[in-house]
Amino acid sequence: MTRKKAGEGAAALEEALQVLYGSGGRDLTAQGYTEALHKLRKVDAAGARRVERLLGPFLEKKVFPRRGRAWQETSEGARMRVALLPHNPHVQQDALTIRKLLGIPAGQIHAKEDDPGWKQVKALVKPEAIIGQVVEGNLASRWLYFHRQTALGLPIGEEDRHALPQELEGSAVKSALADLAAEHVPQWLRHPGKMVEKDDSQVTPIDWVAARLAERHKLPSHLAPALTFYVLTLDAARLAGLDPVRVDVAYGGGPSGDPSAFTVAVWGIDEFVTRDDWERIWKQYVEPRQHTLWKRRGTLPQGRRALGVERLRGAMPLYRKMVAEELEFKQVLALAPQDWDQETVRRVISDLRELLEPAP
């Protein structure tokens, strides 16, 4: 940009700000700008449109940089795409393309009542409407095992040799050898080079195509496993009710060093994530695990669950005196407030010792 054009741009910007705010203060917060523009529209609609046109690029760059990011590209967009996923015709078309490239025959993987395992699943699963989905899920899991083992050059366990019907085993093995670096493969799906590196399941053909499918449709990467099962079964129900937010749970570590304690990491929080989202995450990921810990403790998560810090803080002068003067319990008891009985003193001093005494 030449100096002349830059000067003209600055002058136009200053003019727009003068029209919008006059000679007074210029409140460029979201609320201040909106209120000033609203007032201007009432008296000069055309002038307000011109101000918006002139100030738009400046505001997006300098004042409201998030305005340049369309809501479709935020967590709100991801939420909408995930909610619409079972009905997305583009995903369905791409799944069919993937199946063709991997050599998965039409009709696979579809469960029938005469399939091995149907009766066993029927005895365990209610309602009956989901029996087929469970059987298909089992078959798809075994298909994936054969596919990945073959792609990685790893042996099939003897106990797994007859885990799949012959036609499913055949397509699992054939698909593991698919050349996704070939020129006829669509560019969005094409692998740049060697398909498989040993002991890295993420580069087997099925895992590659699922990751690319998520990427192509701007879906969170943690949904790739669900997309894998959809590609194998073409059952749109497998894409329903998915969580657009990635949540990871890890056990152990933390300040207490408790191996049963857990850490919850929530990815991709932005301005569109709501308190309702947070409460759903709490209900789904935190509360059930806490309930398990309470069961192990043999108590219920209600009532007074822990010692009040105010109770302990109130006993600190007594405890400090005990430590400083190396007092015996009988001496501490004599110094305690008159309304504290012996058991109260014993418990609070014991609690403070457990909390505060350093390791030997």
Is the distance from CB of 205 to CB of 175 less than 8 angstroms? yes
Long-range pairs, 114-123, Cβ under 8 A, ≥24: 115/139, 115/165, 116/165
- Which residues, other chains included, contact 192 with Cβ-Cβ below 8 Å and sequence gap of 6+? 181
Q: What is the pLDDT of residue 201?
A: 44
- Number of C-alpha atoms within 13 angstroms, CB side, residue 94? 21
Judgement on whether residues 97 and 210 belong to the same structural domain of the protein:
yes
Judgement on whether residues 202 and 343 belong to the same structural domain of the protein:
no
- The whole-angstrom separation of Cα 192 and Cα 185 is 11
Whether 255 is in a domain gets the answer yes
Whether 47 is in a domain gets the answer yes
Whether 302 is in a domain gets the answer no
Nearest Cα residue to 81 out of 199, 193, 224, 220: 220
Judgement on whether residues 231 and 271 belong to the same structural domain of the protein:
no
Judgement on whether residues 252 and 143 belong to the same structural domain of the protein:
no
Whether 232 is in a domain gets the answer yes
- The whole-angstrom separation of Cα 73 and Cα 78 is 7
- The whole-angstrom separation of Cα 342 and Cα 338 is 10
Could you give the number of structural domains in the chain? Answer: 4
Query: Which structure tokens are listed for 202?
Result: 């993420």
- Size (the chain), residues: 360
Cis link prior to 109 (omega < 30° from 0)?
A: yes
Q: What is the pLDDT of residue 229?
A: 97
Domain range for 293: 246-297
pTM (whole model) above 0.75 = no
- Which residues, other chains included, contact 118 with Cβ-Cβ below 8 Å and sequence gap of 6+? 111, 112, 131, 135
Work out the number of other CB atoms within 10 angstroms of the CB of residue 81: 18
pLDDT digit string (tens) for the chain, length 360 residues: 455 445 555 677 777 777 777 777 777 777 777 788 888 888 888 878 887 787 777 776 766 777 677 889 999 999 999 999 999 999 999 999 999 999 999 989 988 777 767 777 777 777 767 888 888 888 999 999 999 999 999 998 888 878 888 899 999 999 999 999 999 999 999 998 766 655 554 589 999 999 999 999 999 999 999 999 999 999 999 999 999 999 999 998 777 788 999 999 999 899 999 999 999 999 999 999 999 998 888 876 654 555 678 889 999 999 999 999 999 988 999 999 888 999 999 999 999 999 899 988
Q: What is the pLDDT of residue 8?
A: 52
Whether 32 is in a domain gets the answer yes
- The whole-angstrom separation of Cα 173 and Cα 165 is 12
